[in-house]
Amino acid sequence: MSAPDRSTSPAVPVVLLLIAMASLQGGAALAKILFPAVGAQGTAALRLFFSALILMPILQPWRLRLPPEGWRIVALYGLTLGGMNLMFYMSIRTIPLGIAVAIEFTGPLAVAVLTSRRLLDFGWIALAAAGLLMLLPHGDDLATLDTAGMLYALGAGICWALYIVFGQRAGLRYGPRTVALAAMFAALAVIPFGLASAGMSLFNATLLPTAVAVAVLSSALPYGLEVLVLARLPARTFGTLLSLEPVFGAIAGLLFLHEALSVTQWLAVAAIVAASAGITLTSRRGKR
C-alpha cells in the first residue's frame, strides 16, 4: 500500500474531518425524526439510498476501471458502511446518541491501538479511552441502558473499524470515486432490512425532504470528505482523531435532542479533545 498523500497542509485533512464529524452527528440527530414513520432500519435504508443517488452523478464512479481485487475491496468497504449505519440507528432507538457514539468508537480506537508503534501514542490513546469511559454511565445508571442497544452500538464499532481499513485501501488505490460505489453497495445491502421493517411506508413522499437532508448530512457529505482524509492521514492518526466523534455526538444530542451532559461527561469531552490534539501534534513533529 502506498503512503498517504501529504502534499497539502497537514491542517487541511484535519479540518475536513471535523466538518465531516459535525455533519454526521447533526444528521444522526435529525434522523430520529424518521424513526416513528419507518423505524431505524427504514431510516438507514433511506439514508444510504439517497446518499448513493447524490454521490453517483457527482463522483461518476463508472469512470473507474477496477480489477477484480478492486471490486472486492470496494464491496467490503460498502458492506461495512451499510452495517455501521444500520446497527448505529438500531442502537440510538433505545440509548442516547452520545452514549451510542462513545460505544461505537471502540472500533476506531482499536484501529489506533493496533497500528500504533510509539509509547507516546499509547499515552494519547489511553487518555482518549479514559474520556470514553467517563462518558459511559456507571453503577445504577448503567442498568437504565438497553442491553440490545449497547450491543448494536458495539457492532457498529466493529463495522467502523473495518470501514477505516477498507476505506483507506479503496481511497489510496482507486481514489475518491470509490465512495459512491461503496454507498451503492451499502444501500443494496440495507434496503431489504428497510423494506422488511417499514414496507410501503418507505416510499411515502412526505418523508422525502427529511430523508434527503439526512442523506446529505449523515452520508454524502461526511463520507465524501472522509475518503479524501483517509488518503492523506495514516490510519492511526485518523482513528484517534475520530475520538472527537463522541464529542460531536454529545453536543448534537444536547442541541437537537435535549440530552444534557453532566460535569463528568464534560470532563470526558475535554480529555478526548486533548488526546486528539496531542496525537495530531506529536504525529506532525515525528515526521519532520
Given a contact cutoff of 8 angstroms between Cβ atoms, the answer to whether 203 and 49 are in contact is no
What are the angstrom distances between the C-alpha of 120 and each of 133, 139, 161, 188, 271?
A: 20, 32, 22, 42, 16
Q: What is the C-alpha to C-alpha distance for residues 188 and 82, in angstroms, rounded to an integer?
A: 9
14-68 confidence digits (pLDDT tens): 888 889 888 988 888 888 889 999 999 999 999 999 989 988 888 888 888 889 8
Whole-prediction pTM value?
0.79
Given a contact cutoff of 8 angstroms between Cβ atoms, the answer to whether 85 and 24 are in contact is no
Which residues of the chain carry a pLDDT beneath 50?
A: 1-3, 6, 286-288
Task: Write the burial class of residue 142 (CB in 10 Å: 0-12 exposed, 13-18 middle, 19+ buried).
Answer: exposed
Among 129, 125, 96, smallest CA distance to 112 is for 125
